[in-house]
Structure 1
Amino acid sequence: MSLHFLVNIGGTGYHPAAWLDPSLAPDAFVDLDHYVRAAAVAERGLLDGLLFPDIPVQQPGILRAPTATLDPTLLTTAIAVSTSRIGLIPTASTSLNKPYNLARRILSLDHVSGGRAAWNAVTTFEHRAGRNFGIDHLPGRGERYRRAAEFVDIVLGLWDSWEGDALVGDQGAGWFADHDKVHPLGHDGEFYSVHGPLNVVRSPQGRPVLVQAGSSPQGIEFAARYAEVIYGTQFGLEGAATFSDAVGRAASLAGRDRSDVKILPGLVPIVGSTEAEARGKFDDLQARLHPEHDAFVTFARWLGFEPDDLDIDAPLDERHLKLPADRNGPQGFFDTLTRYAATTGATVRELLSQFLGGHRVVTGTPESVADHIETWSATGHVDGFTIVPAVLPTSLENFVDEVVPVLQRRGLFRTEYDSTTLRGHLGLAEPANTFATR
């Protein structure tokens, strides 16, 4: 068994105090060299791909931390020219884009990178983001996912609009392409009308890889139908088993196998030479937070409650386990955390040491972090993890230089790349061209 690892590349790191690291410039989050260095570290570690999150709206926390991000499709294209193997996965919303333009951008990235591109397909719930695109009120979850399904169907059709051998390239005869193997899409649906074909030839890896990040019931159904990689959140093995089983059942209904989908939940590894040193690193980050970004206050509001509603030294009340009607955030993340809290009886203070922005924190030595990864992977419920560095590039360097060698010695991770494409790294089959098989 070979594990798979993506890396969540979010600015200067996932922890809100990451930008205060003295080794980082305050404007590192808009410095291309910063991202190129992180990509080089990940590629040195033989990791599968870099995932770039995106919400195209200025977040309100800008007073105390950088919350702006560069456009991930442009950023990944720039990184493509300085890397040779690592996968590149920009996030783009089906709620805020048009299918033809997005299909063309992602497939262009795939060609520029030599077959290393994927698309993290998300729906957008943030109404402020919608207003940046002339959308006063984004639709509810059900309609968002119906729209997303039609959007993805169109993108897949456009990526298939050139068959693999449509490009003839006979310079002597002056014959460039076989017109009969370039197909219009002719889509006219509930939300979109797209004629096609795409004006970019078929992907070097068949198609760019499809990644999906939703964990709600609608997200699971959507992922089971389309996703080849799921980036989600899990806090305990019981929850991981439940999620994997749900994906497997939904995939079967969609005519797919659970093995067709790689589940790579987020993991925040904090690595030290001793357990105490690792815990101290996380505590130092928490201590750097401005009082307005106090971890307890942030956690309460992330759940959808005011801080006065929670007791830091008590487990969550039953009422805290129910999704607030006015909460505007990922439902799957809320459900996963509250299920874990109810199962374990952990106090809020304990949760704060295990949880960061929707992901599980694991502190320890290289060996104990590797133990955690091995224990989870042995269950078969996860296929690896999406590493979420608390501070970039430091936390990623710690993982690559200290944890990866342990996994390699145990025979759990590759010692060299054996493919040049992201699809090859992930062990995913090249999909058949839908037009060629008709």
Structure 2
Amino acid sequence: MDTNSTAGRQMVLGLLLSPASSHIAGWRHPDAISNAGWDFSDVLGVARSAENAKLDFVFLADELCAPEGNAQTLSRDPVVYRFEPLTLLAALSVSTDRIGLVATQTTTYNEPYHIARKFASLDHLSHGRTGWNLVTSYVEAEARNFSSSEHLKNADRYERAEEFFRVAAGLWDSWDDDAFVLDKSSGRYFDPEKMHVLNHHGKHFSVRGPLNVLRPPQGRPVQVQAGSSEAGKELAAHYAEVVFTAQNSLESALAFTLELKDRTEKAGRPRDSIRVIAGVQTIIGDTIEDAQAKYRQMQELIHPEVGLARLSQLLSFDVTALPLDEPLPEYIPETEAYKSRQQLIIDTAKRENLTLRELYRRVVGAYGHRVVIGTPDSVAGELAAWFEAGAVDGYILSPAYLPEGFEEFQSRVLPLLQERGLFRTEYTGTTFRDHLGLPKPERDQVQVQHPAQTAAAV
């Protein structure tokens, strides 16, 4: 990993590549591109700006359904429309050169062979720049798009996700790196000793293999995860290399990072094998007052109807008929969907004594992530403080709107972080793993079947 003069490390910085999934009303800003008006040239323009800024990655979030609600409410929600992320990633992979490309794919409504094959192909197309954000489909409405009336319980989704990842990892190891000899004189296309048939038989999947794609240039895509429930943290400790998190205080961020790295070490992996990346939305002005005015302008664009609908979705609890100027009810039932995000919202509402109106603006304004409002100097200072305290390894930038929201950060804050030695000025490697300082995994590094599963299969 790159070094700096004080801590011997530099920030990881990524960019959420969506004009509307960060701030629900961002599309209404006069300078914003809206989702449905966003064509590939716009997407590519932002991705290339991120690459010119030497960011580690861009990130494509995804859900396999439109937001829930009646047509009147949905008509105000821009996230009803998204590009399919792997299709978009394929286009970006051959249109950019160095930046990492991360996309969300669910383990609940996919099969391991499909995911392994697609990401292996994309890793080759991009020359080793892909990352897989593994999710377990926390949105219950997705079930109804896949011939199911009921969404799996949290524990069941994570049990399936663990086996799913281990099967995908085994498929990526179907071939040695030098298996394909292409010997024209003898007619030998590959060395048969360097092909490995998976023959996996587990609780959720039976997959023979081998994968009909060469081993990915990175060995496997960088493994990303965002779940912060107990099951999510345990899965991350065993397999994740980057973890996205939503944190709103230095104390909670530090506690989360220390706990996750303790769990990682307990799982038999080095503490530095995982990078904790917090979401952040920056609002930048010439003065503090100017920045605060910009923030108020953005917040006033949030329509109450869509704000309450989105908050209800995140809480798995209907708040649409509750008084706007009173706090949340004392009791909200625990959800099987957005467990960690639900708790974050409840904790924030109680800690800051927020009314429902204040809460929906806070939550849907940045999707529960931290908002940093200030001058370029103060924003750079706040980002540096969390990083230097060890609370985060970096940030995923979630501008309120694109492209200007990122361009302002790039031109006014990023140079200050570079002056402090906290972020690179040039790429020093070519793959996403190079950017993160992560080694290429050896073959068979992930045990495909636990001993208990192997015995059951026999």
For normalisation by structure 1, the TM-score amounts to: 0.92
Matches within 5 A, 1:164-175: 164-175=177-188
Kindly state the Cα deviation for residue 329 of structure 1 after the two structures are TM-superposed.
3.9
Question: Aligned to 1:258, which of 267, 271, 279?
Answer: 271
Matches within 5 A, 1:137-152: 137-152=150-165
Q: 1:41 to 1:346 in 2, by over 3 A?
A: farther
Q: Which whole-Å deviations, capped at 9, do the CAs of 1:26-52 have from their partners, x for residues lacking one? A: 555551112111101111111111111
**Any conservation in 2 of the 1:29–1:69 contact (CA below 8 Å)?**
no
**Any conservation in 1 of the 2:19–2:32 contact (CA below 8 Å)?**
no
Q: Match for residue 333 of structure 2?
A: 324
Q: In 2, distance between residues paired with 1:404 and 1:25?
A: 23
Describe the SS at the equivalent of 1:277. Answer: helix
Task: Select between 125-134 and 140-149 the one with higher mean Cα deviation.
Answer: 125-134
Q: Match for residue 399 of structure 2?
A: 389
Task: Select between 296-305 and 394-403 the one with higher mean Cα deviation.
Answer: 296-305
Q: In 2, distance between residues paired with 1:11 and 1:157?
A: 36
Q: In 2, distance between residues paired with 1:125 and 1:380?
A: 29
Q: Match for residue 452 of structure 2?
A: none
Q: In 2, distance between residues paired with 1:135 and 1:261?
A: 35
Matched AA of 1:41 = S
Question: Aligned to 1:156, which of 157, 169, 172?
Answer: 169
Kindly state the Cα deviation for residue 133 of structure 1 after the two structures are TM-superposed.
1.4
Question: Aligned to 1:365, which of 375, 394, 403?
Answer: 375
Matched AA of 1:56 = L
**Any conservation in 1 of the 2:311–2:319 contact (CA below 8 Å)?**
no
Q: 1:88 to 1:435 in 2, by over 3 A?
A: closer
**Any conservation in 2 of the 1:160–1:435 contact (CA below 8 Å)?**
no
Q: Match for residue 132 of structure 1?
A: 145
Describe the SS at the equivalent of 2:104. Answer: strand
Q: 1:283 to 1:337 in 2, by over 3 A?
A: same
Matches within 5 A, 1:115-130: 115-130=128-143
Structure 1 position 279 matched with structure 2 position 320: no
Q: Match for residue 336 of structure 1?
A: 344
**Any conservation in 2 of the 1:221–1:250 contact (CA below 8 Å)?**
yes
Q: Match for residue 426 of structure 1?
A: 436
Q: In 2, distance between residues paired with 1:390 and 1:237?
A: 22
Kindly state the Cα deviation for residue 300 of structure 1 after the two structures are TM-superposed.
6.2
Question: Aligned to 1:106, which of 98, 119, 125?
Answer: 119
Task: Select between 274-283 and 68-77 the one with higher mean Cα deviation.
Answer: 274-283
Describe the SS at the equivalent of 2:236. Answer: helix
Q: Match for residue 64 of structure 1?
A: 76
Structure 2 unaligned segments of length 5 or more: list them. 1-8, 449-458
Question: Aligned to 1:375, which of 365, 379, 385?
Answer: 385
Q: In 2, distance between residues paired with 1:329 and 1:83?
A: 35
**Any conservation in 2 of the 1:115–1:203 contact (CA below 8 Å)?**
yes
Kindly state the Cα deviation for residue 353 of structure 1 after the two structures are TM-superposed.
6.9
Describe the SS at the equivalent of 1:88. Answer: strand
Describe the SS at the equivalent of 2:245. Answer: coil
Kindly state the Cα deviation for residue 351 of structure 1 after the two structures are TM-superposed.
5.5
Q: Match for residue 207 of structure 1?
A: 220
Q: In 2, distance between residues paired with 1:335 and 1:217?
A: 12
Question: Aligned to 1:3, which of 11, 14, 39?
Answer: 11
For normalisation by structure 2, the TM-score amounts to: 0.88
Kindly state the Cα deviation for residue 296 of structure 1 after the two structures are TM-superposed.
6.5
Describe the SS at the equivalent of 2:101. Answer: strand
Q: 1:211 to 1:405 in 2, by over 3 A?
A: same
**Any conservation in 2 of the 1:239–1:336 contact (CA below 8 Å)?**
no
Matches within 5 A, 1:209-224: 209-224=222-237
Describe the SS at the equivalent of 2:181. Answer: strand
Question: Aligned to 1:185, which of 198, 206, 209?
Answer: 198
Q: Which whole-Å deviations, capped at 9, do the CAs of 1:295-328 have from their partners, x for residues lacking one? A: 57754664335256567476x66x25xx524x46
Q: 1:310 to 1:229 in 2, by over 3 A?
A: farther
Q: In 2, distance between residues paired with 1:121 and 1:26?
A: 27
Task: Select between 399-408 and 20-29 the one with higher mean Cα deviation.
Answer: 20-29
Percent identity (aligned)? 38
Q: In 2, distance between residues paired with 1:376 and 1:386?
A: 14
Q: In 2, distance between residues paired with 1:172 and 1:358?
A: 61
Kindly state the Cα deviation for residue 411 of structure 1 after the two structures are TM-superposed.
0.5
Question: Aligned to 2:48, which of 40, 47, 55?
Answer: 40
**Any conservation in 1 of the 2:98–2:129 contact (CA below 8 Å)?**
yes
Structure 1 unaligned segments of length 5 or more: list them. none
Kindly state the Cα deviation for residue 11 of structure 1 after the two structures are TM-superposed.
4.0
Kindly state the Cα deviation for residue 136 of structure 1 after the two structures are TM-superposed.
2.1
Kindly state the Cα deviation for residue 238 of structure 1 after the two structures are TM-superposed.
1.2
Q: Which whole-Å deviations, capped at 9, do the CAs of 1:126-171 have from their partners, x for residues lacking one? A: 2321121112212111111000000000000011111111122334
Q: Which whole-Å deviations, capped at 9, do the CAs of 1:272-305 have from their partners, x for residues lacking one? A: 2221222222211222233423x57754664335
Q: 1:301 to 1:212 in 2, by over 3 A?
A: closer
- Equivalenced residue count is 431
Matched AA of 1:324 = P
Describe the SS at the equivalent of 1:184. Answer: coil
Matched AA of 1:14 = S
Q: In 1, distance between residues paired with 2:337 and 2:184?
A: 55
Q: Match for residue 417 of structure 1?
A: 427
**Any conservation in 2 of the 1:270–1:364 contact (CA below 8 Å)?**
yes
Q: In 2, distance between residues paired with 1:25 and 1:358?
A: 22
